[in-house]
């Protein structure tokens, strides 16, 4: 079984920076890459902010925070992504993911494990054209990655059992819970959970109830967050992209139809908590 010592992460958005923090806190050397200087600077600040919260709650010492930050190398040079394990965490679109992983594969050993943090695109499609597809898999963390325990470990058509075993053991080593699943659009969680969003949006479109009432109803039934609060937390752009991806992957099955209301939110830049406005206004209290 391959020993993972160094991890490279492509994409310093919300998921990439959270994954980088998790590995760095667990004594792995990390390279966090993004092509945009602005995103790298934002990632640095967000990781430090997350660590400061952990220190304030007594879950992390000041020395451990400093050590964690020292283990992360921030880079805007794709050539720096040379590691034992690569995790791609960029935009939820097939072509950019394929292109990026092909570039990264060319500069790494054929033994380097290549993974995608995609939440909806089949890994077999992403792996197409890459040498030694047996070492390619899905490694899907959930937002926020530094807090959520579940990680889906996805086996593509040619992924070896050794790769899956290595990744599952690694997930346990960083204090997470691995769930191994087969390659299918949305895998387990996003396929099951998609209708939590889609049906709620349909009810809103049909004016069956307000978003506040739908959220209150679902929370009273035991869900920690109502669907509209959850979409705002994840980001309406991300949530809409995943729904659109599943809709296409299932050949426009109507049960996965993206919502016109959510598309309008995305078009208006009302993405949720990260922009201050989504289905709710975060410039005031909920």
Would you say the C-alpha torsion 251, 255, 259, 262 has a positive or negative sign? Answer: negative
Tell me if 181 sits within 8 A of 164, measured CB to CB: no
* Integer Cα distance of 163 and 153 in angstroms: 10
* 99 is an active site residue: no
* 110 is an active site residue: no
Tell me if 190 sits within 8 A of 242, measured CB to CB: yes
Query: Phi-psi bin for 252: left (phi > 0), alpha (psi -120 to 50), beta?
Result: left
Kindly state the DSSP code that residue 84 receives in the 8-state scheme: S
209 CB-near residues (< 8 Å, 6+ apart):
203, 217
The closest of 274, 262, 176, 264 to 234, measured between CA atoms, is 274
**From 50, 116, 190, 245, the catalytic residue:** 190
The two tokens of residue 242 are: 């995943």
**From 152, 236, 259, 270, the catalytic residue:** 152
Tell me if 2 sits within 8 A of 22, measured CB to CB: no
The two tokens of residue 250 are: 């299932």
* 152 is an active site residue: yes
**From 50, 119, 200, 259, the catalytic residue:** 119
* Integer Cα distance of 231 and 265 in angstroms: 11
First to last CA, the chain: 49
* 146 is an active site residue: no
* Integer Cα distance of 64 and 55 in angstroms: 9
**From 140, 239, 245, 259, the catalytic residue:** 140
Q: Which residues participate in catalysis according to the annotation?
A: 119, 140, 152, 190
């Amino acid at each position: 079984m391959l020993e993972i010592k160094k991890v490279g992460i492509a994409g310093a958005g919300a998921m990439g920076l959270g994954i980088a923090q998790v590995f760095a806190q667990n004594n792995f050397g990390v390279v966090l890459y993004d092509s945009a200087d602005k995103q790298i600077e934002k990632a640095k600040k967000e990781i430090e902010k997350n660590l400061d919260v952990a220190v304030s709650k007594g879950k992390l010492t000041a020395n451990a925070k400093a050590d964690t930050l020292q283990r992360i190398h921030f880079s805007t040079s794709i050539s720096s992504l040379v590691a034992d394990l690569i995790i791609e965490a960029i935009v939820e679109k097939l072509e950019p993911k394929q292109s990026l992983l092909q570039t990264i594969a060319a500069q790494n050993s054929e033994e380097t494990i290549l993974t995608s943090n995609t939440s909806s695109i089949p890994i077999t499609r992403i792996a197409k054209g890459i040498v030694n597809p047996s070492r390619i898999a899905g490694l899907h963390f959930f937002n926020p990655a530094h807090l959520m325990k579940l990680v889906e470990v996805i086996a593509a058509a040619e992924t070896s059992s050794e790769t899956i075993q290595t990744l599952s053991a690694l997930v346990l080593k960083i204090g997470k819970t691995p769930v191994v699943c087969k390659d299918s659009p949305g895998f387990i969680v996003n396929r099951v959970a998609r209708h939590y969003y889609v049906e709620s949006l349909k009810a809103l479109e049909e004016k069956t109830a307000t978003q506040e009432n739908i959220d209150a109803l679902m929370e009273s039934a035991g869900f920690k967050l109502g669907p509209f609060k959850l979409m705002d937390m994840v980001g309406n752009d991300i949530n809409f992209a995943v729904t659109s991806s599943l809709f296409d992957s299932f050949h426009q099955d109507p049960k996965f139809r993206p919502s016109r209301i959510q598309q309008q939110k995305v078009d208006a830049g009302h993405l949720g908590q990260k922009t201050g406005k989504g289905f709710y206004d975060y410039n005031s209290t909920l």
